[in-house]
Amino acid sequence: MKKKIIPFSLLLFWGFVAVCQGKWELKRDESGIKVFTRNTTNSDRKEVRVICELDATRAQLVSTLLDIGNYKTWVYANEKAVLLKTLGPKKIIFYTQSHLPWPVKDRDLVVELNIAEKPNGLNIEAKSLPGYLPKNKNFVRVPYSLEVWNVTAIPNNKLKADYTFSFDSGGSVPAWLANTTLTTGPFNSFVKLRELLRGKYAR
Protein backbone atom coordinates (compact mmCIF):
# COMPACT_ATOMS: atom_id res chain seq x y z
CA MET A 1 0.00 0.00 0.00
CA LYS A 2 1.31 3.44 -0.86
CA LYS A 3 1.55 6.05 1.86
CA LYS A 4 1.63 9.82 1.88
CA ILE A 5 4.88 11.74 2.22
CA ILE A 6 5.26 14.04 5.20
CA PRO A 7 7.59 17.02 4.46
CA PHE A 8 6.99 20.05 6.57
CA SER A 9 3.32 20.59 8.97
CA LEU A 10 0.86 20.06 12.22
CA LEU A 11 -2.57 19.30 13.69
CA LEU A 12 -3.41 19.36 17.38
CA PHE A 13 -6.48 17.39 18.50
CA TRP A 14 -8.36 17.90 21.75
CA GLY A 15 -10.93 15.95 23.76
CA PHE A 16 -12.16 12.67 22.39
CA VAL A 17 -10.07 12.87 19.22
CA ALA A 18 -6.89 13.18 21.30
CA VAL A 19 -7.84 10.06 23.23
CA CYS A 20 -8.28 8.12 20.00
CA GLN A 21 -4.80 8.95 18.75
CA GLY A 22 -1.75 6.87 19.40
CA LYS A 23 0.94 7.85 21.86
CA TRP A 24 4.02 9.73 20.76
CA GLU A 25 6.86 7.33 19.88
CA LEU A 26 10.46 8.53 19.92
CA LYS A 27 11.95 7.72 16.49
CA ARG A 28 15.19 9.69 16.56
CA ASP A 29 17.28 11.26 19.32
CA GLU A 30 20.48 12.76 17.97
CA SER A 31 22.49 15.97 18.44
CA GLY A 32 19.98 17.29 20.96
CA ILE A 33 17.05 16.92 18.55
CA LYS A 34 14.23 14.50 19.38
CA VAL A 35 11.76 13.42 16.70
CA PHE A 36 8.51 11.67 17.62
CA THR A 37 5.67 10.30 15.50
CA ARG A 38 2.17 9.01 16.17
CA ASN A 39 -0.82 7.80 14.21
CA THR A 40 -3.93 9.92 13.82
CA THR A 41 -7.59 9.08 13.35
CA ASN A 42 -7.15 9.97 9.65
CA SER A 43 -5.28 7.21 7.82
CA ASP A 44 -3.88 9.70 5.31
CA ARG A 45 -2.02 11.63 7.98
CA LYS A 46 0.65 11.08 10.59
CA GLU A 47 1.77 13.53 13.19
CA VAL A 48 5.39 14.41 13.79
CA ARG A 49 6.83 16.25 16.77
CA VAL A 50 10.26 17.79 17.21
CA ILE A 51 11.72 19.01 20.51
CA CYS A 52 15.05 20.81 20.63
CA GLU A 53 16.89 23.90 21.83
CA LEU A 54 17.89 26.76 19.54
CA ASP A 55 20.71 29.24 20.12
CA ALA A 56 18.67 32.35 19.41
CA THR A 57 16.40 34.95 20.94
CA ARG A 58 12.72 35.26 20.08
CA ALA A 59 13.42 38.22 17.80
CA GLN A 60 16.10 36.26 15.94
CA LEU A 61 13.85 33.26 15.35
CA VAL A 62 11.01 35.49 14.18
CA SER A 63 13.33 37.25 11.74
CA THR A 64 14.47 33.92 10.33
CA LEU A 65 10.96 32.52 9.92
CA LEU A 66 9.80 35.68 8.14
CA ASP A 67 12.76 35.51 5.76
CA ILE A 68 10.81 33.45 3.25
CA GLY A 69 13.35 33.79 0.46
CA ASN A 70 15.95 32.01 2.59
CA TYR A 71 13.86 28.89 3.28
CA LYS A 72 15.75 26.96 0.63
CA THR A 73 18.84 26.98 2.85
CA TRP A 74 17.22 25.09 5.73
CA VAL A 75 13.75 23.71 4.96
CA TYR A 76 13.93 20.09 3.81
CA ALA A 77 13.29 19.57 0.06
CA ASN A 78 12.40 23.25 -0.44
CA GLU A 79 13.19 24.56 -3.91
CA LYS A 80 11.44 27.91 -3.84
CA ALA A 81 9.57 30.14 -1.42
CA VAL A 82 7.96 33.47 -2.30
CA LEU A 83 6.12 36.02 -0.17
CA LEU A 84 2.60 36.61 -1.53
CA LYS A 85 0.99 38.97 0.97
CA THR A 86 1.77 40.73 4.24
CA LEU A 87 -1.21 40.71 6.61
CA GLY A 88 0.58 42.25 9.59
CA PRO A 89 4.02 42.64 11.21
CA LYS A 90 4.17 38.90 11.96
CA LYS A 91 1.46 37.50 9.72
CA ILE A 92 2.08 36.64 6.08
CA ILE A 93 0.99 34.40 3.22
CA PHE A 94 3.66 32.70 1.12
CA TYR A 95 4.02 30.15 -1.65
CA THR A 96 6.52 27.30 -1.60
CA GLN A 97 7.62 24.45 -3.86
CA SER A 98 9.20 21.16 -2.77
CA HIS A 99 11.32 18.93 -4.98
CA LEU A 100 10.83 15.20 -4.41
CA PRO A 101 12.86 12.25 -5.78
CA TRP A 102 11.81 10.77 -9.10
CA PRO A 103 9.28 9.37 -9.94
CA VAL A 104 7.24 11.33 -7.38
CA LYS A 105 5.80 14.59 -8.69
CA ASP A 106 6.93 17.77 -6.97
CA ARG A 107 4.54 19.47 -4.52
CA ASP A 108 3.55 23.08 -3.99
CA LEU A 109 1.86 24.75 -1.06
CA VAL A 110 0.36 28.09 -0.02
CA VAL A 111 0.82 28.87 3.67
CA GLU A 112 -0.53 31.46 6.08
CA LEU A 113 2.07 32.05 8.80
CA ASN A 114 1.04 33.75 12.05
CA ILE A 115 3.54 34.48 14.84
CA ALA A 116 2.17 35.60 18.21
CA GLU A 117 4.12 36.74 21.25
CA LYS A 118 3.40 35.20 24.64
CA PRO A 119 4.84 36.23 28.05
CA ASN A 120 7.86 33.96 27.81
CA GLY A 121 7.99 32.82 24.22
CA LEU A 122 6.13 32.49 20.95
CA ASN A 123 3.09 30.70 19.55
CA ILE A 124 3.54 30.07 15.83
CA GLU A 125 0.98 28.59 13.46
CA ALA A 126 1.35 27.85 9.77
CA LYS A 127 -1.72 26.53 7.95
CA SER A 128 -2.22 25.63 4.31
CA LEU A 129 -4.51 27.60 1.99
CA PRO A 130 -4.92 25.10 -0.88
CA GLY A 131 -7.40 27.22 -2.83
CA TYR A 132 -5.55 30.54 -2.53
CA LEU A 133 -3.84 30.23 -5.93
CA PRO A 134 -4.81 28.34 -9.09
CA LYS A 135 -3.13 24.94 -9.32
CA ASN A 136 0.08 24.57 -11.29
CA LYS A 137 0.00 21.57 -13.64
CA ASN A 138 3.68 20.87 -12.90
CA PHE A 139 2.98 20.32 -9.19
CA VAL A 140 0.63 18.45 -6.90
CA ARG A 141 -1.03 21.01 -4.63
CA VAL A 142 -0.76 19.97 -0.98
CA PRO A 143 -4.38 19.67 0.23
CA TYR A 144 -3.70 19.91 3.96
CA SER A 145 -0.92 21.17 6.17
CA LEU A 146 -0.93 22.62 9.68
CA GLU A 147 2.05 23.20 11.93
CA VAL A 148 2.39 24.70 15.39
CA TRP A 149 5.45 25.87 17.28
CA ASN A 150 5.35 26.29 21.05
CA VAL A 151 8.53 28.25 21.77
CA THR A 152 9.74 29.10 25.28
CA ALA A 153 12.67 31.36 26.18
CA ILE A 154 15.24 29.71 28.44
CA PRO A 155 18.47 31.08 30.02
CA ASN A 156 21.54 32.12 28.01
CA ASN A 157 19.57 33.54 25.08
CA LYS A 158 18.26 30.16 24.05
CA LEU A 159 14.85 28.87 23.05
CA LYS A 160 13.14 25.56 23.61
CA ALA A 161 11.08 24.63 20.57
CA ASP A 162 8.24 22.11 20.70
CA TYR A 163 7.14 21.71 17.09
CA THR A 164 4.30 19.50 15.91
CA PHE A 165 2.79 19.02 12.49
CA SER A 166 0.31 16.99 10.47
CA PHE A 167 0.42 16.75 6.70
CA ASP A 168 -1.37 15.21 3.74
CA SER A 169 0.73 15.56 0.59
CA GLY A 170 -2.00 14.58 -1.84
CA GLY A 171 -1.51 11.89 -4.47
CA SER A 172 0.43 8.65 -4.02
CA VAL A 173 3.96 8.38 -2.69
CA PRO A 174 6.05 5.17 -2.42
CA ALA A 175 6.12 3.75 1.10
CA TRP A 176 9.93 3.84 1.27
CA LEU A 177 9.95 7.57 0.56
CA ALA A 178 7.12 8.32 2.99
CA ASN A 179 8.81 6.39 5.79
CA THR A 180 12.19 7.99 5.15
CA THR A 181 10.84 11.53 4.97
CA LEU A 182 8.67 11.18 8.05
CA THR A 183 11.61 11.59 10.43
CA THR A 184 14.51 12.60 8.16
CA GLY A 185 12.81 15.74 6.83
CA PRO A 186 12.04 17.35 10.19
CA PHE A 187 15.38 16.30 11.69
CA ASN A 188 17.42 17.74 8.82
CA SER A 189 15.38 20.95 8.82
CA PHE A 190 16.02 21.59 12.49
CA VAL A 191 19.71 20.73 12.17
CA LYS A 192 20.06 23.32 9.41
CA LEU A 193 17.88 25.86 11.24
CA ARG A 194 20.05 25.56 14.32
CA GLU A 195 23.22 25.95 12.24
CA LEU A 196 21.74 28.97 10.47
CA LEU A 197 20.81 30.66 13.72
CA ARG A 198 24.25 30.01 15.23
CA GLY A 199 26.03 31.38 12.18
CA LYS A 200 23.75 34.34 11.56
CA TYR A 201 23.55 35.49 15.16
CA ALA A 202 26.91 34.29 16.52
CA ARG A 203 27.73 36.10 19.72
- Prediction pTM value: 0.84
- Which residues lie closer than 8 Å to 102 by C-beta, 6 or more apart? none
What pLDDT is stored for residue 83 in this prediction?
98
Domains contained in the chain, CATH given = 29-200 (3.30.530.20)
Distance linking the first and last C-alpha atoms of the chain: 50
What pLDDT is stored for residue 179 in this prediction?
62
Residue type at 124 in one-letter notation: I
What pLDDT is stored for residue 202 in this prediction?
59
What pLDDT is stored for residue 62 in this prediction?
97
d(CA 39, CA 79): 28
Taking only the tens of pLDDT, the chain with its 203 residues reads: 444 443 443 222 333 333 345 789 999 999 999 999 987 776 556 789 999 999 999 999 999 999 999 999 999 999 999 999 999 999 999 999 998 877 788 999 999 999 999 999 999 999 999 999 999 999 999 998 899 999 999 999 899 999 998 888 777 766 566 666 778 889 999 999 999 998 876 55
59 in helix, strand or coil? helix
What pLDDT is stored for residue 42 in this prediction?
63
What pLDDT is stored for residue 196 in this prediction?
95
What pLDDT is stored for residue 39 in this prediction?
78
Q: Which of 96, 76, 57 is CA-nearest to residue 200?
A: 57
The torsion angles phi and psi of 90, rounded to 5 degrees, stand at: -135, 30
